[in-house]
Amino acid sequence: MDYALKPLSLLCPQSLSRYMSVGNSAEAMQLTASPPQPPRPHPRPYRVSTWNRALRKGVMAESLSDLLQKVRIALLIGGRITLTLDEDGTIVENEEFFQTLKEGTVFLALTKGQSWYPAKTPGYEFALTQRPGRCHDVACVTLDLYKTKPDDFIGCLNFRATLYGTYSISYDMHCYGARRLLKEALRWVLYSMQASGHLLLGTSAYMQQLLDSTKEEEGEREGSSGVPLLWLSSDTQEDIAVRTQLRPHLC
């Protein structure tokens, strides 16, 4: 009898409220235990150089640890690496500061015993004559060609112009589709060469027909100027033969 009444006791209001409170608390614990994960950052292009700026490579990285790992592979550097900003030598140590940097930032990879020093020139400067000591820069143009991936055909071109040392403008040109454009250009060149070949063949065949017809007309004209014996009658041919035989005797 007690065994039969046990399932009925589970349907009482007190038991139902107890089970509902336990279920709600478990659901709340599950929600608090798994907070929403922040969105994963997208890879961004950067440029890294050796301590003496002799070698520069372009890499794509989404975090500071990812950048350090790719710098070791790109520059073939082992051991501990310290990244500093190329422009002022600021050390990049934490992820928060790294995420605030812009795309295309240039880093210097320093190892043990190496230190940062300012670059001699900010970029490639073109001048016709040497600058005197007392002068002001009117314009400075910097062109930087780099690759974000090793298999890029051309890469990216960074253009920067500065006027009077105050106003500056920069533009970053990504040439990711250059290989596809080159293939299309070569394909059109191939089609044009094939069309030119067919045109030349047709023109040569037409000129050959004209030359053959001209030769036939000249042959017909030469044949019509003389009197061939085949076109004369048999009596006329006999008279001509007799006259030819008698002409020496008459002479």
For range 227-245, the mean pLDDT: 52
Is 223 inside any structural domain?
A: no
pLDDT band (50, 70, 90) for residue 234: low
Is 222 inside any structural domain?
A: no
| Number of C-beta neighbours around residue 68 at 10 A | 19
pLDDT at 141: 83
Domain boundary among 70, 88, 110: 110
Task: Return the closest-CA partner of residue 61 out of 74, 47, 43.
Answer: 43
Residues 62 and 96 in one domain: yes
Domain boundary among 55, 85, 110: 110
Residues 182 and 171 in one domain: no
Q: State how far Cα 188 lies from the chain centre.
A: 18
Is 141 inside any structural domain?
A: yes
Is 201 inside any structural domain?
A: yes
Our count of domains for the chain comes to 3
Task: Return the closest-CA partner of residue 47 out of 109, 92, 90.
Answer: 109
Residues 164 and 195 in one domain: no
With H, G, I as helix, E, B as strand and everything else as coil, classify residue 152. Answer: coil
108 vs 215: which has the higher pLDDT:
108
Is the predicted pLDDT of residue 24 greater than 60, yes or no? no
Tell me the C-alpha distance between 85 and 92, whole Å.
7
Residues 100 and 54 in one domain: yes
Is the predicted pLDDT of residue 15 greater than 70, yes or no? no
Residues 63 and 48 in one domain: yes
Tell me the C-alpha distance between 221 and 100, whole Å.
94
Is 229 inside any structural domain?
A: no
pLDDT at 170: 80
Residues 77 and 102 in one domain: yes
Residues 141 and 162 in one domain: yes
Q: List the CATH number of the domain containing 49.
A: 3.10.20.10
Tell me the C-alpha distance between 195 and 146, whole Å.
38
Is 22 inside any structural domain?
A: no
Is the predicted pLDDT of residue 196 greater than 70, yes or no? yes
Residues 182 and 165 in one domain: no
Residues 88 and 135 in one domain: no
Is 205 inside any structural domain?
A: yes
Paired tokens of 210: 């004209």
pLDDT at 127: 46
Beta strands in the chain (DSSP E): 44-49, 56-61, 82-85, 106-110, 139-146, 155-163, 167-175
pLDDT at 36: 56
Residues 172 and 185 in one domain: no
Is 17 inside any structural domain?
A: no
Is the predicted pLDDT of residue 34 greater than 60, yes or no? no
pLDDT band (50, 70, 90) for residue 21: low
Tell me the C-alpha distance between 204 and 202, whole Å.
6
pLDDT at 128: 47
Which range of residues forms the domain containing residue 185? 178-215
> What mean pLDDT, rounded, does the chain reach?
73
With H, G, I as helix, E, B as strand and everything else as coil, classify residue 123. Answer: coil
pLDDT at 3: 47
Give me the percent of the chain exceeding a pLDDT of 70.
60
125-157 pLDDT tens trace: 444 445 555 556 677 888 887 777 666 667 777
Residues 55 and 101 in one domain: yes
pLDDT band (50, 70, 90) for residue 163: confident
pLDDT at 20: 53
Is the predicted pLDDT of residue 241 greater than 60, yes or no? no
Q: State how far Cα 81 lies from the chain centre.
A: 31
Residues 201 and 172 in one domain: no
What is the widest separation between alpha-carbon atoms in the chain?
Answer: 169
Is the predicted pLDDT of residue 75 greater than 60, yes or no? yes
Is the predicted pLDDT of residue 225 greater than 70, yes or no? no
